[in-house]
């Protein structure tokens, strides 16, 4: 079964990448899974905020 995940490059400053590595290690995650977690969390927050705005 083929993976639905896409591969892409991302340019970030060294300091940002180091911080991501530190936080990922604290949660015993790979940097890739930690970045995915951050992105998904942000998407969920935005979607909740947008739904809330639509109700008002």
For 17, the token pair is 């990448």
In a domain, 48, yes or no: yes
Q: Structural domain tally of the chain?
A: 1
Distance CA(30)–CA(23), nearest Å, equals 10
Share of the chain above pLDDT 90, in %: 79
Domain of residue 18 covers 14-55
pLDDT in tens, 9-24: 999 999 999 999 999 9
Q: How many CA atoms lie within 13 A of 50 on its CB side?
A: 6
Distance CA(49)–CA(5), nearest Å, equals 26
Sole residue written with tokens 């790979």: 30
In a domain, 1, yes or no: no
In a domain, 33, yes or no: yes
In a domain, 35, yes or no: yes
DSSP 3-state of 1: coil
1 confidence band (pLDDT: 50, 70, 90) = low
In a domain, 41, yes or no: yes
In a domain, 9, yes or no: no
* Inter-residue contact 21 to 31 (CB < 8 Å): yes
């Amino acid at each position: 079964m083929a993976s639905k995940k896409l591969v892409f490059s991302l340019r970030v400053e060294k300091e940002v990448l180091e911080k991501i590595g530190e936080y990922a290690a604290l949660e015993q995650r790979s940097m890739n899974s930690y970045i995915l977690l951050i992105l998904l969390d942000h998407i969920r927050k935005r979607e909740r905020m947008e739904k809330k705005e639509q109700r008002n």
